[in-house]
C-alpha cells in the first residue's frame, strides 16, 4: 500500500512507516506479531482514554442538567478529575469478603473488561481504520459484546451477597432478552447493506443514505435494545442503586471496582460507536477527516445517552422483560419483514428508501398506539381503586 501523508490518513501512515522501518531489520513474522500487538495496545489505550473522558463527561453532563457545575477543582474546569479518580481507585484497599468465592470473585472483573475491550477490534474508526476488517464484523460484535453477561453472573455469584445475586439474575434475564431485538435490528441493517462487515455497512450508507433516515423505527428499537445491552438508563436495573444498592459490584473495591467501571464505559463507547456505524453513516462526512467525523458522531450519541440518564427513572424488571418480549421482539420481526420485502421487491433505491421510511413511521405509530392504549386501560382501572 502506498504511504500517503494526509490528515485523513495520518494514523495509517504512521503504522505503515513503522512497519517499513521494522521490516528493515526484523524477520517478517516478527514484524506482523509486533504490529498486531501494537494495534492491541493502541485499542486498549483508546479504551482507557475514552473511559477517562466519558467519566468526566458523565459527571459534567449530570451536573449541568441539575443546575450545577460538576467537578471543577482539579485543573481548568476540572479536566484532571478523572486522573484523580483513577489514582484514588488504584490506592484503595482491595477487599475480598471472606465468605466470597475467591476464584470467581477475582475472575469476574477480568471477564467483563476483556469482553468489553474485544469489541473494539471491529469498530471502523475511519476510512481503512479498523483493527480487524472481519467479514462477519457485526456478528463478532454481538457475540463478544454479550460475553460480559458471564462476568456479571460470576461477580454476582462470587460476591456472596444477596443484592449482587439479584443483580446477577437480572443481568441474565435482561441481557438475554435484549439480545433478540438487537440481533433483529442488526439483521435489518445487514439486509440493506448486503454485508456483515462494518466497513461495508458504512460504505453502503454512502450509496443509500444514512440508515437512521431510512429506518427510524428500527433505529428506535436498536437504541432501546442497545441501552439495555450497555446497562444504561432507563435499563440500568443491574446496578439499580436505589433498589439493590450497586448490584453486582457491591462488594468490589479498589482496582477491581475500577475494572467494572472501565468495562461499563468501554461498553458505552463501543455501543455508541456501533450505533453510529449502523445508523449514522459511520465515518462518512464532508470536509473533516473521517476519524474525526466518527468521533464527533459517537460523542453526540453518548451525550444523548447521558441526557436520557439524567432525565428518566428506571424501568422495573418485569416491565423490562415484558417490553422486551411482548413489544420489541414482535416489532423487530415486523420491521424485519418490512425491510425484507421492500429490499427484495423494489429495485430503485430512492423509492425503496421512501417506502421503507413510511413503513417505519407506521410501525412507530402502531407500537406507540398499542402501548398507549394498554397504559390508558391500566390507568382507568386504577382510578378509584382505593375506594373499592
Which residues of the chain form contacts with another protein (CB under 8 A)?
61-62, 64-69, 72, 162-163, 165-166, 169-170, 233-234, 236-237, 240-245, 307-319, 365, 367-369, 371-372, 375, 378-379, 381-388
Nearest distance, CB of residue 296 and another protein, angstroms = 19
Q: How far apart are CA 41 and CA 149, in angstroms?
A: 24
Nearest distance, CB of residue 174 and another protein, angstroms = 12
Of 248 and 314, the one with the shorter C-beta distance to another protein is 314
Q: How far apart are CA 29 and CA 127, in angstroms?
A: 26
Of 243 and 343, the one with the shorter C-beta distance to another protein is 243
- What are residue 129's DSSP bridge partners? 126
Give the residue from 147, 154, 141, 146 showing the smallest Cα distance to 256: 154
Nearest distance, CB of residue 109 and another protein, angstroms = 21
**Dihedral Cα 135, 139, 140, 144, nearest 10 deg:** 180
Q: How far apart are CA 357 and CA 85, in angstroms?
A: 45
Nearest distance, CB of residue 185 and another protein, angstroms = 18
Of 27 and 384, the one with the shorter C-beta distance to another protein is 384
DSSP 100-119: S-HHHHHHHHHHHHHHHHHG
Nearest distance, CB of residue 381 and another protein, angstroms = 7
161: helix, strand or coil: coil
Of 23 and 62, the one with the shorter C-beta distance to another protein is 62
Exposure letters 24-45 (e unless 16+ CB within 10 A, then b): eeeeeeebeeebeeeeeeebee
Q: How far apart are CA 364 and CA 221, in angstroms?
A: 9
Of 174 and 198, the one with the shorter C-beta distance to another protein is 174
Of 170 and 248, the one with the shorter C-beta distance to another protein is 170
Q: How far apart are CA 83 and CA 87, in angstroms?
A: 6
Of 302 and 317, the one with the shorter C-beta distance to another protein is 317
Nearest distance, CB of residue 237 and another protein, angstroms = 8
Nearest distance, CB of residue 383 and another protein, angstroms = 6
148 φ/ψ angles, rounded to the nearest 5 degrees:
-65, -20
Amino acid at each position: 500500500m502506498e504511504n500517503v501523508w494526509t490528515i485523513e490518513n495520518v494514523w495509517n501512515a504512521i503504522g505503515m512507516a513503522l512497519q517499513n522501518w521494522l521490516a528493515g531489520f526484523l524477520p517478517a513474522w516478527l514484524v506482523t506479531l509486533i504490529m498486531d500487538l501494537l494495534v492491541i495496545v493502541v485499542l486498549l489505550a483508546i479504551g482507557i482514554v475514552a473511559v477517562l473522558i466519558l467519566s468526566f463527561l458523565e459527571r459534567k453532563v449530570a451536573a449541568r442538567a441539575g443546575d450545577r457545575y460538576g467537578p471543577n477543582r482539579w485543573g481548568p474546569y476540572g479536566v484532571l478529575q478523572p486522573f484523580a479518580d483513577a489514582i484514588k481507585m488504584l490506592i484503595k484497599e482491595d477487599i475480598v469478603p471472606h465468605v466470597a468465592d475467591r476464584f470467581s470473585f477475582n475472575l469476574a472483573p477480568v471477564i467483563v473488561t476483556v469482553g468489553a475491550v474485544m469489541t473494539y477490534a471491529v469498530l471502523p474508526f475511519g476510512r481503512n481504520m479498523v483493527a480487524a476488517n472481519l467479514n462477519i464484523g457485526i456478528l463478532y460484535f454481538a457475540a463478544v459484546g454479550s460475553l460480559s453477561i458471564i462476568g456479571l453472573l460470576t461477580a454476582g455469584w462470587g460476591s456472596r451477597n444477596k443484592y449482587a445475586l439479584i443483580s446477577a439474575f437480572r443481568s441474565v434475564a435482561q441481557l438475554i432478552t435484549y439480545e433478540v431485538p438487537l440481533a433483529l435490528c442488526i439483521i435489518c441493517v445487514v439486509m440493506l447493506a448486503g454485508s456483515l462487515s462494518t466497513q461495508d455497512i458504512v460504505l453502503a450508507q454512502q450509496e443509500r443514505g444514512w440508515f437512521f433516515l431510512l429506518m427510524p423505527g428500527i433505529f428506535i428499537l436498536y437504541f432501546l435494545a442497545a441501552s439495555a445491552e450497555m446497562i444504561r438508563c432507563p435499563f440500568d436495573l443491574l446496578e439499580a442503586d436505589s433498589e439493590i444498592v450497586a448490584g453486582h459490584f457491591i462488594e468490589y473495591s479498589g482496582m477491581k471496582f475500577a475494572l467494572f467501571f472501565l468495562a461499563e464505559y468501554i461498553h458505552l463507547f463501543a455501543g455508541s460507536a456501533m450505533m453510529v456505524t449502523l445508523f449514522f453513516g459511520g465515518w462518512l462526512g464532508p470536509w473533516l477527516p473521517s476519524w474525526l467525523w466518527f468521533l464527533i458522531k459517537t460523542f453526540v450519541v453518548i451525550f444523548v445517552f447521558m441526557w436520557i440518564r439524567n432525565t428518566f427513572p428506571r424501568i422495573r424488571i418485569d416491565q423490562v422483560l415484558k417490553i422486551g418480549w411482548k413489544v420489541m421482539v414482535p416489532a423487530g420481526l415486523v420491521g424485519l419483514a418490512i425491510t425484507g420485502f421492500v429490499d427484495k421487491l423494489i429495485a430503485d433505491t430512492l423509492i425503496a428508501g421512501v417506502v421503507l421510511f413510511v413503513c417505519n413511521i407506521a410501525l412507530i405509530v402502531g407500537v406507540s398506539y398499542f402501548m398507549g392504549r394498554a397504559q390508558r386501560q391500566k390507568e382507568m382501572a386504577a382510578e378509584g381503586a382505593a375506594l373499592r
